Structures are given as structure tokens and as C-alpha cells.
């Protein structure tokens, strides 16, 4: 485990995510899992992250993630095939419609708004050995930039430049009715 930085992505961005009505999650350095800093450069995995309120204390070295299903779902497309990715995106977004997206080690994840009180179920679809589509909603989370992927590469925002930090969430496309 890497030594924690004094000022983490979680410490920097969690307050803004909270003001947006989202639940930020500290991400353990070198992992994709939510955790909590317990001192001396150590973290413990959170087992109650799906129900607990946001952690308000400093989380040295932690990445940033967000709990999904409460007004926000993510569509995670794990493929390197651009034609398949475009087909999946067009299923959820109208032509020329934009949204916040995040690029990881492979594929892309994009966000849709869910009306208050509506519950979307998380699901995983496998199209072939190399393509997986996941609807990440209730009971799921995702890692956000600038967190480092366990491979050592940073997560990054999509090409349109939209992020949670510069986009009104009400402009996001809604989950299909």
C-alpha cells in the first residue's frame, strides 16, 4: 500500500459531491473499493457503504467514488470495440445528447439521472467474451477521476469535458421510462 498523501482526491472533491446531493465514498489507494482511513497509513474496507452517511473526516491518500442509485445510475461499458460501444451508447442517449462520462483502464462509463423515488436495479449483461455492459444502480458505486486505477493509470473524464464539478446534474439525460 502506498503512503497516503496529505490532501486526497476525496478530501478535495467530497464536499462538492455532498452539496450536489450525492454520497461520496473514499476509495482505498491502489484499489477500487470504498474504505476508511484508520491511521498510520492504513485503511479498512467499508462493509456498510451502501447505507451509511458520507464520511466527513479527512481521508489521506484516498481516491474518490460515488454511491449510485440515489438519483444517479451509471452505464459501464467494458469493451475496446468502438462499434459495440457506440451501439450501446445510442440505446441510452439520443443523437447529439451528451452526459458526464468517465474513462477507466478499459471502456467507458456514463451517467444518467433517475427521478427521485425511482429505484433502478443493477444488472450485468455479457454479450461476448470481450464485452460486458453493467447498469450500476442501487447497491453499487463507481470510482471517479482523478483517482488512480489499480493498474497505475488515472481515471479521466470523457472527451466532452463534462464532470460532476462543472455540470448541472439536472441537464443529464434521464433513465429511460
Same domain, 91 and 145: yes
Q: Does 176 map to a domain?
A: no
Same domain, 126 and 166: yes
Same domain, 165 and 92: yes
Same domain, 61 and 114: no
pTM exceeds 0.85 for this model: yes
Q: Does 145 map to a domain?
A: yes
For cell 467530497, what's the residue? 14
Which cell goes with 73?
445510475
* DSSP structure string for 140-171: -EEEETTSBPTTSPBPEE-TT---TTTS-GGG
Same domain, 56 and 21: yes
* Residue 24 bridge partners (DSSP): 66
pLDDT at 25: 97
Same domain, 77 and 147: yes
Same domain, 94 and 49: no
Same domain, 82 and 55: no
> How many folded domains does the chain comprise?
2
Same domain, 76 and 161: yes
Q: Does 55 map to a domain?
A: yes
- pLDDT tens track, the chain, 177 positions: 444 446 799 999 999 999 999 999 999 999 999 999 999 989 999 999 989 899 999 999 999 999 999 789 999 999 888 888 888 889 899 898 999 999 987 789 999 999 888 889 999 988 777 778 999 999 999 999 999 999 899 999 999 999 999 999 999 999 987
Q: What is the helix (H) or strand (E) element at residue 11, kind and residue range?
A: helix 9-19
* DSSP structure string for 51-71: TSPPP-S--TT-EEEEE-SSS
Cα torsion through 157, 144, 122, 131, rounded to 10:
50
pLDDT at 3: 45
Same domain, 52 and 128: no
Same domain, 100 and 31: no
pLDDT at 82: 85
Same domain, 56 and 82: no
* Residue 108 bridge partners (DSSP): 77, 103
Residues 6+ away with beta carbon under 8 Å from 141: 25, 34, 49, 65, 66, 67, 68
Q: Does 177 map to a domain?
A: no
Structural domain boundaries, residue 104: 72-171
Contact 134, 120 (CB under 8 A): no
pLDDT at 6: 65
Amino acid at each position: 500500500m502506498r503512503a497516503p498523501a496529505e490532501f486526497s482526491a476525496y478530501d478535495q472533491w467530497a464536499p462538492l459531491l455532498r452539496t450536489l446531493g450525492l454520497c461520496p465514498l473514499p476509495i482505498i489507494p491502489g484499489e477500487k473499493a470504498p474504505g476508511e482511513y484508520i491511521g498510520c497509513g492504513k485503511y479498512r474496507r467499508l462493509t456498510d457503504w451502501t447505507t451509511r452517511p458520507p464520511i466527513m473526516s479527512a481521508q489521506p491518500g484516498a481516491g474518490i467514488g460515488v454511491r449510485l442509485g440515489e438519483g444517479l445510475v451509471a452505464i459501464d461499458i467494458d469493451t475496446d470495440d468502438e462499434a459495440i460501444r457506440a451501439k450501446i451508447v445510442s440505446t441510452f442517449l439520443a443523437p447529439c445528447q451528451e452526459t458526464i462520462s468517465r474513462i477507466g483502464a478499459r471502456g467507458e462509463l456514463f451517467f444518467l439521472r433517475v427521478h427521485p423515488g425511482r429505484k433502478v436495479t443493477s444488472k450485468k449483461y455479457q454479450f461476448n467474451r470481450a464485452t460486458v455492459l453493467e447498469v450500476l444502480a442501487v447497491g453499487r458505486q463507481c470510482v471517479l477521476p482523478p483517482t488512480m486505477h489499480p493498474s497505475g493509470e488515472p481515471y479521466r473524464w470523457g472527451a466532452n469535458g463534462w464532470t460532476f464539478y462543472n455540470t448541472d446534474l439536472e441537464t443529464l439525460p434521464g433513465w429511460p421510462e
